[in-house]
Amino acid sequence: MKRYIIELVQGGASLLAGLGVTLRALVAQPVTVPYPRKKLPMQPGFRGHPMLVRNPATGAFTCIACGTCMQRCPSRCIDITAARTESGTKYPARFQLDFTRCSLCGICVEVCPVSGLAFSRSFAMPHRTREACKYDLVTRGEEGT
Amino acid sequence: MGVAVRSTKTESGPIHYRYFMNVGPQHPSTHGVLRLIIGLYGEYVLSIEPVIGYGHRMHEKMAQSRPWQAFLPNTARMDYACCLPHQHCYLSLIEQHTGIKVPPRAEYIRVIAVELNRIASHLLWLGAFLLDLGAFTPILYCFDDREEVLDILENLTGARITHCFFRIGGVLADIDDHSANRIREFMRRMRGRFSVYHKLVTENIIFIKRTRDIGIITPDMARRYGATGPVLRGSGIAYDVRKQQPYSAYRDFSFDVPTGSRGDCYDRYLVRVEEMQQSLCIIEQALERMPAGEIRAPVPRTIRLPAGQRSFSVEGARGEVTYYLVADGTDTPYRLKVRSPCYANLNLIQELGQGMLFADMIATLGSLDLVIPEIDR
């Protein structure tokens, strides 16, 4: 009986201590934000899907359509159609990224010999169809997204 | 949940009605697609039969059918809650097999990233475990803290979960002063939070009543089933791969291996909370003594795996993770076997759960910290 009463008192005290924690949180600043209206700053190191980089001087893509990223991609989600300019340099006429298969490992960006790929900052990319998840990075880059 | 009734006649005569109930594959307390076929007598559990394989994605087969570099993202997709130890294990195995030396600074960065991942994983477990027991509040505090870890990891690795951060011969990014200060700030915050968890959980009478002397795993039983990680240490066996076979830079740090005394759910909880503190300790030492230098060793463009076999073990958040490689001289592994700690830990529940009350069985299952995709692979 004595043990029961001690346990009752101690147990009650432990519950009150827990409630104290909750009460303090009740009057503290909220840690969440109402998402669509307010957004948290993104981490500088965030890695979105790969995108083509432009040469700041000429405005053209630095990609030389060598196909290294296409070969090294673990998910085989990159498909490049190369073309040649009149002067004979290769450039990507089409650079398709199948985002349904991309695992964002970053190997393509890493292996590019001319640093022609970078990570985008876009993270919310809902699509209505599966086909819409296949991005052509050449036209997507031109859209500025 | 489907219910079927069967009657069995016992020796003493009366007919006992035995219910068979499916828990899962989509049940909140199974944390993934685990199905348990439970034989019940009223509220008492007579038998448990786990059914696994719903999340099978052929990871080992994938490893055997493509160059070894292409398996790197796969390592992050088995144990989604604590994936960096898997990646650490896989790359250490390849590095050891091909004789590539990793710069000391890279090893330190790997240790810091892995320990941060371990804290995130234990916080996730803590919240989910208490949710299983019916306490809703703690998961909000846990996720608040976990968010801080995930922000640091996101800045470092580029992703919040399923990180692909380690590379052969080093890591992808360096920890600069800004990141180091953020980690230190998080450590200060986290150390202050343990008192909150103790008030909210450790000393809570309801929590103690639900977990003390529930699901006792004896050291003998833990050994028989090959349990590792906090499940084994909760039973009083101080086995930690980081101590027993120090790999990477773990030899340089001093830390304790917490153990329990009774082997019940409460001990496993205490072990994990203490492990978070020890992880903070390791991170602090690593940040202080971080050597200068390269973060990635120069490696040849194509690396073939010399013929032979090799295994490598690391301590994951749930126990010992082992990768076993059989190579035949090409760049594609002949065989890659992954030893996941959860598979051994899950097997315990069959013997452990017999004769328990149903609610206690759920508490015990939660205390094993199972990640089902790691079992199914």
pLDDT score at B28: 62
Edge-to-edge order in the sheet of strand B44-51: B3-9, B15-23, B35-41, B44-51
In a domain, A60, yes or no: yes
Which of A105, A107, A117, A121 is most worth mutating to test chain B (most B CB atoms within 10 A of its CB)? A105
Residue A145: band (very low, low, confident or very high) from pLDDT cuts 50, 70, 90: very low
Residues in a beta bridge with B58: none
pLDDT score at B92: 92
CB B322 within 8 A of CB B123: no
Same domain? B105 vs B34: no
pLDDT score at A11: 83
Nearest-Cα residue of chain A relative to residue B75: A105
pLDDT score at B11: 59
More confident residue, B126 or A142: B126
Residue numbers in B near A20 (CB within 8 A): 199
CA–CA dist B329, B306 (Å, integer): 4
Same domain? B167 vs B303: yes
Same domain? B281 vs B238: yes
Record: contact A11-B205, CB cut-off 8 A: yes
Helix (H, G, I), strand (E, B) or coil at A81: strand
CATH of the domain at A122: 3.30.70.3270
* CB nearest A43 (choices: B137, B154, B205): B154
Same domain? A70 vs A138: yes
Same domain? B142 vs B252: yes
Q: What's the one-letter identity of residue B231? A: V
Taking the CA of residue A140 and the nearest CA in chain B, the distance in Å comes to: 22
Residue B288 neighbours by CB distance under 10 Å: 9
CATH of the domain at B98: 1.10.645.10
Same domain? B37 vs B153: no
Note which residues in 182-221 of chain B have CB less than 8 A from chain A: 196, 199-201, 203-206
Same domain? A120 vs A62: yes
Taking the CA of residue A104 and the nearest CA in chain B, the distance in Å comes to: 8
Taking the CA of residue B208 and the nearest CA in chain A, the distance in Å comes to: 10
Residue numbers in B near A35 (CB within 8 A): none
Residue numbers in A near B201 (CB within 8 A): 18
Same domain? B79 vs B42: no
Same domain? A86 vs A121: yes
Same domain? A56 vs A18: no
pLDDT score at B270: 93
A13-68 pLDDT per residue, tens? 888 888 888 898 889 888 888 988 988 888 888 888 888 888 888 878 888 888 88
* CB nearest A31 (choices: B70, B144, B159): B144
State the residue range of the domain holding A73: 50-143
Same domain? B110 vs B201: yes
Same domain? A138 vs A93: yes
Record: contact A45-B154, CB cut-off 8 A: yes
Residue numbers in A near B205 (CB within 8 A): 7, 10-12, 14-15
In a domain, A41, yes or no: no
pLDDT, tens digit only, all 377 positions of chain B: 444 444 555 555 555 667 888 887 776 666 678 888 888 888 888 889 898 888 888 899 999 988 888 888 899 888 888 889 999 999 999 999 998 889 999 999 999 999 999 999 999 999 989 988 888 888 889 999 999 999 999 988 888 888 888 988 888 888 888 889 999 999 999 998 998 898 888 888 889 888 988 889 999 999 999 999 999 999 989 899 998 889 888 988 999 999 988 889 999 999 999 999 999 999 999 999 888 888 888 888 788 888 889 999 999 899 999 999 999 888 899 999 999 899 999 989 888 888 889 889 988 988 988 888 888 88
Nearest-Cα residue of chain B relative to residue A43: B155
Same domain? A57 vs A108: yes
In a domain, A37, yes or no: no
Beta carbons within 8 Å of B99's beta carbon, 6+ residues apart = none
Phi/psi at A91 (5° precision): -150, 155
Q: What's the one-letter identity of residue B349? A: I
For chain B, strand residue ranges (E) read 3-9, 15-23, 35-41, 44-51, 166-167, 170-171, 308-315, 320-327, 335-339
B167/A contact by beta carbon, under 8 A = yes
Same domain? A26 vs A87: no
Same domain? B345 vs B232: yes
Same domain? B249 vs B361: yes
- Parallel, antiparallel or unpaired: strands B15-23 and B3-9: antiparallel
Nearest-Cα residue of chain B relative to residue A106: B164
Same domain? A9 vs A56: no
Within B1-136, where are the H helices? 59-64, 72-75, 84-98, 104-132
Q: What is the dihedral of CA B151, A107, B307, B296, to 10 degrees?
A: -60
Record: contact A104-B206, CB cut-off 8 A: no
Domain total for chain B?
2
CA–CA dist A66, A92 (Å, integer): 9
Helix (H, G, I), strand (E, B) or coil at A61: strand
Taking the CA of residue B41 and the nearest CA in chain A, the distance in Å comes to: 31
Same domain? A87 vs A120: yes
Record: contact A107-B203, CB cut-off 8 A: no
Largest CA distance in chain A: 97
Same domain? B172 vs B111: yes
Same domain? B63 vs B46: no
Beta carbons within 8 Å of B44's beta carbon, 6+ residues apart = B355, B356, B357, B358
pLDDT score at A144: 43
Instruction: For residue B121, give both structure tokens.
Output: 């994983």
Same domain? A95 vs A135: yes
State the residue range of the domain holding B282: 59-376
pLDDT score at B199: 84
pLDDT score at A44: 85
Same domain? B35 vs B112: no
Domain total for chain A?
2
CA–CA dist B76, B62 (Å, integer): 14
pLDDT score at B29: 60
Same domain? A20 vs A62: no
CA–CA dist A127, A140 (Å, integer): 15
CA–CA dist B337, B42 (Å, integer): 41
* CB nearest A106 (choices: B137, B158, B205): B158
B176/A contact by beta carbon, under 8 A = no
Same domain? A14 vs A79: no
Record: contact B155-A15, CB cut-off 8 A: no
Nearest-Cα residue of chain B relative to residue A22: B137
Which of A15, A21, A29, A101 is most worth mutating to test chain B (most B CB atoms within 10 A of its CB)? A21
pLDDT score at B371: 87
